[in-house]
Amino acid sequence: MTGVDTGSILRAMPAATARSLLNHAWRDLSGPPKALDRVQLEGPAAVLPSRLATSALLQAAAAAAAAAAAELAAARGATWDGPAAVVDSRRAAVAGTSERHLRVDGEGGPGFAPLSRFFPAADGWVRTHGNYPHHRERLLAALGVERDEDVAAAIAALPAATVETRIAAAGGVGAAVRDSVDWKIGVPGAVASSLPLLTLSRVRSAPVQERPALEAGPLLPASGIRVLDLTRVVAGPVATRTLALLGADVLRVDSPHLPELPAQHLDTGFGKRSALLDLEDPADLRRLLELADTADVVVTGYRAGALARFGLSPEDLVRRRPGIVVASLSAWGWAGRWWSRRGFDSVVQAATGIAVAEGSATEPGRLPAQALDHGTGLLLAAAVLRALTEQLHGGGTWRAELSLAQTAGWLLLAGTDDGPVPPELDPTAWLRTTPSDLGVLTHAAPPFLLEGGPDDWATPPVAWGSSEAAWR
């Protein structure tokens, strides 16, 4: 943890409000300003204990998705006498910490693995990630050790930058802890900081889409939309969970060789189906390409470039299927030396300066939520919904690109709040209970409430890989 004390710089900047963050996101989404008049923001400004504007970010990201959902619903015939959507900061905070609230028959899931934490290095700190077995194995290999208990000593003997480089070379996940100034003057951070929060662009022509008027019953703006979900972990699945809430037919497809963490899959699996296809198998690859060719939306969340060898890069998808919406997210952005590097929310927090801003003089800290994951996921859903609305008016083939690092920059630019720590939030009002084949699930409610829309998902999550690889 080197460089200036970024925390002192940030504390000189008053925290942005959820409304100002929403305006920023909506501008990058190229949304019509009047559409934001349909969204009502409620609740206290600070809900989660954080120096950075974490509560405002989660509320703003939820509001962007809500505004885009209302815009699509209006384009398909919906009308309202009052606000179309209400986003309470407390609801958004509970949804933004949904993994903490999930219970299966009253039992919670495991927390972070022992190797997913901060370690002191010879000249600073390193954040590692070992929740998945293959990442744990690569971390051990990078450090030249065989046991978990030897990791701390191996890292302590090396400079933080050396540990970071070795982990990346081994295909693992980790980063040296930097302040935000060091991040921005380094090549990866300079590239990420030069990019907008997100990009949404029409990349090819295609006929205007025709969608039927919405049916009576719960307001489901994305009904009739087929979404192929090629994402893992949290951010991408949060995006597709949001689209499923709004009526989309979401089919998540995973490799049988990369099992998901069970609790994580449940938490982000509401409203979806889950299938397995092995892309190394020619027949399975053909099936996935057929699904992509008949999808309205493909959402990808794998490491940048990982799907290209299977003909599933964003460029391949828009070439194969004019009129599709391809939404992609990465950890570090879509340019620069780190564009294909692996990363997760906690590791991006460490690299970009968030861990310094939330830490103390002696050790780094962390956000009170996986806000980069949840915030990016909600913005990704908003981008898809906005693209679908644009297709109703002018057609086109659309691409959206987001990254955790860009969302981190959005949060850091928002400044800090040095006000009193808010009282611990009682989540009860924003928890739901749903029976499922896997047990009785207690879980977070959706992050926003669309007037006339659902306050819960139509179907519970299913077991990983239990569905047929086919559309409904």
Same structural domain for residues 136 and 245?
Answer: no
Residue 430: the pLDDT is 97
Domain count, the chain: 2
Asked if pLDDT for residue 458 goes beyond 50, the answer is yes
The answer to whether the beta carbons of residues 399 and 328 sit under 8 Å apart is: yes
The answer to whether the beta carbons of residues 392 and 76 sit under 8 Å apart is: yes
* Domain membership flag for residue 464: no
Same structural domain for residues 151 and 83?
Answer: no
Asked if pLDDT for residue 462 goes beyond 80, the answer is yes
Asked if pLDDT for residue 4 goes beyond 50, the answer is no
| Helix ranges (DSSP H) in 173-212 | 180-185, 187-194
Say which range, 102-111, 282-291, 318-327, has the weakest mean pLDDT. Answer: 102-111
DSSP 256-284: TTSPPPHHHHHHT-TTEEEEE--TTSHHH
Q: Which residue has the tokens 């015939």?
A: 77
Q: Is 242 helix (H, G, I), strand (E, B) or coil?
A: helix
- The beta strand positions in 185-270, using DSSP E, are 199-204, 226-230, 249-254
Asked if pLDDT for residue 13 goes beyond 70, the answer is no
* Domain membership flag for residue 461: no
Same structural domain for residues 101 and 201?
Answer: yes
The answer to whether the beta carbons of residues 443 and 270 sit under 8 Å apart is: yes
Q: How far is CA 273 from CA 218, 462, 463, 466, in A?
A: 20, 6, 9, 8
* Domain membership flag for residue 458: no
Same structural domain for residues 320 and 344?
Answer: yes
Model confidence band, residue 165 (pLDDT cutoffs 50, 70, 90): very high
Asked if pLDDT for residue 11 goes beyond 50, the answer is no
Same structural domain for residues 151 and 216?
Answer: no
As a whole number, mean pLDDT of residues 32-36 equals 96
* Domain membership flag for residue 1: no
The answer to whether the beta carbons of residues 74 and 389 sit under 8 Å apart is: no
Instruction: Note the pLDDT tens digit of each residue in 386-401.
Output: 999 999 999 999 999 9
Same structural domain for residues 157 and 222?
Answer: no
* Domain membership flag for residue 459: no
Instruction: Note the pLDDT tens digit of each residue in 362-381.
Output: 999 999 999 999 999 999 99
Q: Which residue has the tokens 């962390």?
A: 366
Model confidence band, residue 208 (pLDDT cutoffs 50, 70, 90): very high
Same structural domain for residues 438 and 320?
Answer: yes
Strands 397-403 and 199-204: antiparallel
Average pLDDT, the chain: 93
Residue 127: the pLDDT is 97
Instruction: Note the pLDDT tens digit of each residue in 233-288.
Output: 999 999 999 999 999 999 999 999 988 999 999 999 999 999 999 999 999 999 99
The answer to whether the beta carbons of residues 35 and 441 sit under 8 Å apart is: no
Q: Which residue has the tokens 């109703």?
A: 392
Q: Which residue has the tokens 């919406």?
A: 325
**CA separation for the pair 172, 306 (Å, rounded):** 15
Q: What CATH number is associated with residue 363? A: 3.40.50.10540
The answer to whether the beta carbons of residues 44 and 89 sit under 8 Å apart is: yes
Asked if pLDDT for residue 7 goes beyond 60, the answer is no
**CA separation for the pair 193, 184 (Å, rounded):** 7
Domain with 168, as residue range(s), is 118-188
Residue 14: the pLDDT is 58
Same structural domain for residues 183 and 327?
Answer: no
Same structural domain for residues 226 and 255?
Answer: yes
* Domain membership flag for residue 455: no
* Domain membership flag for residue 92: yes
Closest CA to 406 of 440, 430, 383, 425: 383
Q: Which residues of 97-116 are buried (b: 16+ CB within 10 A; e: fewer)?
A: bbbbbbbbeeeeeeeebebb
Residue 2: the pLDDT is 43
As a whole number, mean pLDDT of residues 204-217 equals 92
As a whole number, mean pLDDT of residues 214-222 equals 94
**CA separation for the pair 107, 120 (Å, rounded):** 33
Model confidence band, residue 15 (pLDDT cutoffs 50, 70, 90): low
Q: Is 447 helix (H, G, I), strand (E, B) or coil?
A: coil
Model confidence band, residue 194 (pLDDT cutoffs 50, 70, 90): confident
Q: Which two tokens stand for residue 424?
A: 């611990």
Instruction: Note the pLDDT tens digit of each residue in 126-162.
Output: 999 998 999 999 999 999 999 999 999 999 999 999 9
**CA separation for the pair 332, 156 (Å, rounded):** 26
Same structural domain for residues 257 and 358?
Answer: yes
Same structural domain for residues 78 and 203?
Answer: yes
Same structural domain for residues 207 and 304?
Answer: yes
Q: How far is CA 300 from CA 111, 303, 326, in A?
A: 26, 9, 8
The answer to whether the beta carbons of residues 222 and 297 sit under 8 Å apart is: no
* Domain membership flag for residue 471: no
Asked if pLDDT for residue 10 goes beyond 70, the answer is no
Asked if pLDDT for residue 222 goes beyond 50, the answer is yes
Closest CA to 192 of 302, 303, 335, 305: 335
Domain boundary pick from 188, 209, 238:
188
The answer to whether the beta carbons of residues 376 and 404 sit under 8 Å apart is: yes
As a whole number, mean pLDDT of residues 304-310 equals 85
Domain boundary pick from 157, 188, 219:
188
Asked if pLDDT for residue 299 goes beyond 80, the answer is yes
